[in-house]
Structure 1
Amino acid sequence: MRVCIFGAGASGGHFAVRLARAGHDVSVLARGPHLAAIRDRGLKLRTGGEELSANVAASDTPGDFGPQDVVIVATKATALPAIATQIAPLVGKDTLVIFPQNGMTWWYPVGLPASHPTPPALPIFDLAKTFLAAMRPDQVIGGIIYSANEVEASGVIKNNSPEHNRLEVAAIAGREVPALSALRQEFERARILSPDPGDIRTAVWTKLVTNVSGSGLGFVTSSPSDGARKDRAMSEIYRRLAREMMAIASAHGYELGLDPEQLIAKLLHHKASMLQDYEQGRPMEIAEIMLAPLAFARAAKLSTPTLDTVAAIAAKLAKDRGLVGADVRVDV
Structure 2
Amino acid sequence: MRICIVGAGAVGGVLGFRLATAGHAVSLVARGAHLAAIRRDGLGHLGRDGVLRRATGVRAVDRAGEAGPQDLVVLAAKAHQIPALAPDLPALLQADTPVVALQNGIPWWYFHDHGGRLAGTRLESVDPGGIVSRHIEGRRVVGSVAWGAYDIPEPGVVRGGDTPRDRFPLGEPDGSASPRLAAIARTFEDAGIRAPILPDIRAEKWFKAWGNAALNPIGALTHATLGQMHDFPAANALARALMAEVEAVAHSVGVAFPVSLEERLASSGALGAVRTSTHQDVEAGRRLEIDALVGVVGEIGRLTGTATPRLDALYACCRLLDHVMAEGGLRIVAQPTA
Query: Structure 2-normalised TM-score?
Result: 0.86
The alpha carbon displacement at 1:217 in A equals: 2.3
Question: Moved runs in structure 1, 4+ residues, more than 6 A?
Answer: none
Residues 128 and 191 of structure 1: is their aligned pair in 2 closer, same or farther, counting only changes over 3 Å?
A: farther
Is the 1:5–1:27 contact (alpha carbons within 8 Å) kept by the matching residues of 2? yes
- Percent identity for Structure 1 against Structure 2: 32
Output the amino acid matched with 1:295.
E
1:194 Cα deviation from its structure 2 partner:
1.2
Residue 130 to residue 259, structure 1, CA distance change in 2 (3 Å): closer
Q: In the alignment, is the contact (CA less than 8 A) between 2:14 and 2:161 conserved in 1? A: no
Shift of 1:128: 4.8
* Structure 1 residues 128 and 120: CA distance shift in structure 2, 3 A: closer
Structure 1 or 2: more strand by fraction: 1
Residue by residue over 1:284-318, the C-alpha shift from the partner in whole angstroms, topping out at 9 and shown as x without a partner, is 11122111111222333333343233323322322
Structure 2 contact 112–119 (Cα < 8 Å) conserved: no
Partner of 2:307: 303
CA distance in 1, matches of 2:162, 2:289: 22
Structure 1 stretch displaced more, 292-301 or 89-98: 292-301
Paired residue secondary structure (1:85): helix
Q: Does 1:25 align with 2:25?
A: yes
After superposition, residues 1-332 of structure 1 pair within 5 angstroms as 1-50=1-50, 51-55=52-56, 56-116=58-118, 121-126=123-128, 128=130, 131-133=133-135, 136-159=137-160, 162-267=163-268, 268=271, 269-322=273-326
Q: Give 5+ residue unaligned stretches, structure 1.
A: 325-332
* Count of matched residue positions in the alignment of Structure 1 and Structure 2: 323
Q: What's the C-alpha RMSD, in Å, of the aligned pairs?
A: 2.4
Q: Unaligned stretches of 5+ in structure 2?
A: 329-338
TM-aligned CA deviation for residue 123 of structure 1: 4.3
Report the CA distance shift for 1:161/1:300 in structure 2 as closer, same or farther (over 3 A). Answer: farther
Counterpart amino acid of residue 297 in structure 2: P
* Contact 1:120/1:296, CA 8 A, preserved across alignment: no
Amino acid at match of 1:107: W
The structure-2 alpha-carbon separation of the partners of 1:140 and 1:127, relative to structure 1 and needing over 3 Å to count, comes to farther
Aligned counterpart, 1:327? none
Structure 1 position 126, deviation (Å): 4.4
Describe the shift of the 1:23–1:271 C-alpha distance in structure 2 as closer, same or farther (beyond 3 A): same
